[in-house]
Amino acid sequence: MKNVKIISIESDFGAGKKGAKFGPQALLKELPQSLLSNIPIEVIKFEELSESEETNFALHIDTIYEVIKSANLIIQEAITANQFPWIISGDHSNGLAAITAYKELYPDNKLGVIWIDAHADIHTPYTSPSGNMHGMPLAAAMGILDESKGKNQVEKYTQQKWQDLTKLGAKKLSPKLDPSNLVFIDIRDLESEEINLLNDLSIKHFVPNDRRNLGLEKILQESVDYLAHCHHILVSFDVDSIDPSNSSGTGTPVHDGLSKEQAIDALSFLLAQPKLIAFEITEINPLLDRLQPMEKLAAEIIEKSFEKSGFLA
């Protein structure tokens, strides 16, 4: 039986639409108390830094740095205490925290990351069309600093803060994630710079057509087999990977996503993997789509995935 700890990162500074910071609590309220009983919950909340400098191509980067720094330490504490971090985060910029925590604890180990998302989240301030940092966590984890790949004229302050973010952690390790240890499942909304980076770095990825042609089961097995050389695996599940016909209660919904049943199949398979070190679910926005609330859908997916995988058994 896993000794689970819930880490609720109630921050949406990286998102373009506000409201995702309410997602963790909305999800927890929808989950049955029988599932949550005896699971400790630690909540991380942050206000915008009052003296934060405006950064057009990396919005709120000062505050986001502090949020991830705090979350990283709490995730480290959980793993050190032999607890399994179940991370429920507001927006996906927070995805950098668990990767940082792992590398701080095990700098010589290989961490495999399975990123289930409509987006690749490998933009940098030099390439981002919006400056929203929920599109940048994996670029920060991989230590991508090459401004020649982008089109944005990034001010010096933002350049320095981005470098600081790539080296976040007491050990100042960068990169924290090797591209060969990353797998994307169901990405489908990418800018040209991200497509080029996927190809340049030979990052393993699956798109919706792969799901239709290969089948989800084969994609999941291939993903795990591809990361067999890694010591541990982190699974990060962005709810915008789900097709918006089920719910559009997330900041950046994209059509041609997973069905509810496919999401359950994917998570139940991955939650049963013996190398799993942490699990994150993110980008639930309870201010959007009140006809089909994402928190209700996500709660059903979590409950059924846990039951099917024996995650808490």
Whole-structure pTM over 0.85, yes or no? yes
Nearest to 37 by CA among 86, 4, 85: 4
Q: What is the pLDDT of residues 194-239, one digit of tens each?
A: 999 999 999 999 999 999 999 999 999 999 999 999 999 999 999 9
Give the ranges where the chain is alpha helix by DSSP (H). Answer: 23-30, 33-36, 61-80, 95-105, 137-141, 156-166, 192-200, 208-214, 216-226, 260-271, 294-309
Give 82-136 pLDDT, tens digit per residue: 999 999 999 999 999 999 999 999 999 999 999 999 999 999 999 999 999 999 9
Q: Domains of the chain: which residue ranges?
A: 4-309
pLDDT band at 74 (very low <50, low <70, confident <90, very high): very high
From the candidate CATH numbers 3.40.50.2000, 3.30.70.20, 3.40.800.10, 3.50.50.60, the one assigned to the domain spanning 4-309: 3.40.800.10
Contact in structure between 216 and 266 (CB atoms under 8 Å): yes
Please write the tens of the pLDDT for every residue from 258-298. 999 999 999 999 999 999 999 999 999 999 999 999 999 99
